[in-house]
Amino acid sequence: MTAAAAYLAGRRRAQGAGLDRVLPYLLLAPTLLLLLAVVLYPIGYGIRQSFLNFRFGHAVGSVGLDNYRQLFSDPAFGQALWVTLKFVVLAVTIETVLGLGLALLVANELPFTRIARLVLIVPMIVTPIVVGIVFRLIYASDVGLLTTLRTDIFGSGQVFILDKGWSAFLGLVALDVWEWTPLMFLILLAGLQSLPIEPFEAARVDGAGDWRVFLDQTLPMLRPVLAVAIALRTIDAFTTFDQVFVLTKGGPGTSTQLISIYGYNTAFKFTEFGYGTAMLLTVALVVLALAALTVRLIRRQAVS
């Protein structure tokens, strides 16, 4: 009787231990299977497709690495890459400088900081498609906000933004700055407010001016947060799509044709899935490298 009870108890314990050993993997399984099916498998499938030639949306044979070679001889790809680089560098630089400047100004609590935070969240959580609509309404040369303002102030006159290449490009940069400077600002503000006070007081006692304190104390201490923010923004800006799709569809000409728009058009407008996949996978490699870098930065942040 007691022996049997002891046996049963022992067995239960052993089973429990067995379950405990596989439990962690059982818990992970659904997530890993989902990622395998929806992320890894399509990527593998896409790599296979990128070696194929498509006619009218159907695979018509293997072309080896031709789709990748074509990237180097396709002037439109080079142009799209150049537009994207210009866009990313310009937009992220402006956002960082404005965001940092604003964060430094507001670092000491202002009377309406709470409401300001509330308002500033709006551009970055509002649907990107809607941001595109907002800016089409701003830039519309016949009824837009800019034309309206000019009419109100000067009595007449239209403002043309989306008709010329360079102004459409700058219009797109302005859209991005409007949408994402608040995020930069909020991240950097949180970063600033988490800094210790002592080094600043010590520097003040030593008689350092505002500019010196900023260069010697603030900037170095803020660097990790700044790095993460810039890296995240760069990846995001590099693959901007929705807003351009609504605002200009890449035009006029190719002046706002970012790499994402060109890749999308190649695959879905011209149904060259092989070449489109090859192009976007190449972009993916760049982004993946940036993402890995970002994760490292975040990891360092999380550890410290």
Partner 1 sequence: MRRWLGAVVLLLVLVIVLVPIAFMVGTSFKSNAEITQDLHLWPHTWTGSNYSRLFRDSYFGQYFRNSFIVCSASVLVSLVFGSLAAYSLARFKLLLRMEQWLGFAILTVRILPPVVIVVPLFLVALKFHLLNSWLGLILVYSAFNVSFVVWMMESFFREIPIDLEEASMVDGSSRMTAFRRIVLPLAAPGLVATAIFAVIVTYNEFLVALVLTSSPGSQTIPVGASTLITRIDIDWGAMAAAGVLAAVPIIVFALIVQRHLVRGLTLGAVK
Tokens 């659904």 appear where? 30
Residue from 9, 130, 202, 215 in contact with partner 1 (CB under 8 A): 130
Contacts to partner 1 from residues 164-183, by CB under 8 A: 178, 182-183
Choice from 127, 166, 197, 198 touching partner 1 (CB under 8 A): 127
Residue selected from 3, 73, 152, 303 as contacting partner 1 according to rule CB under 8 A: 152
**Which residue in the set 66, 74, 216, 242 belongs to the binding site for partner 1 (CB under 8 A)?**
242
Interface segment toward partner 1; rule CB under 8 A; list 75-83, 160-168, 200-208, 267-275: 267-275
Among 76, 190, 202, 215, the residue binding partner 1 under the rule CB under 8 A is 190
Name every residue whose Cβ is closer than 8 Å to that of residue 137 and which is 6 or more positions away in sequence: 143, 144, 145
Cα–Cα distance measured from residue 251 to residue 235, given in angstroms and rounded to the nearest whole number: 23
Binding mask 218-237 for partner 1 (x = CB under 8 A): -------x--xx--x--xx-
The pair of structure tokens assigned to 95 is 């956002």
- DSSP output for 263-289: HHIIIIIS--HHHHHHHHHHHHHHHHH
Give residues 62-101 in contact with partner 1 (rule: CB under 8 A).
none
Instruction: List binders of partner 1 among 36-55 (CB under 8 A).
Output: 37-39, 41-43, 45-46, 49
* Interface with partner 1 (CB under 8 A), residue from 1, 4, 17, 125: 125
Calpha distance 206→211 (Å, rounded)? 14
Token couple for 191: 């970063």
Residue closer to partner 1 (CB basis): 35 or 202: 35
Pick the stretch among 7-15, 33-41, 70-78, 83-91 that binds partner 1 (CB under 8 A). Answer: 33-41
Is residue 247 a contact point for partner 1 (CB under 8 A)?
Answer: no
Stretch that binds partner 1, among 7-15, 65-73, 86-94, 278-286 (CB under 8 A): 278-286
Show the DSSP H helices in 194-272 as ranges. Answer: 198-205, 210-213, 219-238, 242-247, 259-264
- For partner 1, give the closer residue by CB, 3 or 115: 115
146 torsion bin: left (phi>0), alpha (psi -120 to 50), beta (else): alpha
Nearer to partner 1, 3 or 26 (CB): 26
DSSP result, 66-85: HHHHHHHH-HHHHHHHHHHH
Give the C-alpha distances (Å, rounded to integers) separating 226 from 72, 138, 192, 197, 229.
34, 31, 10, 19, 5
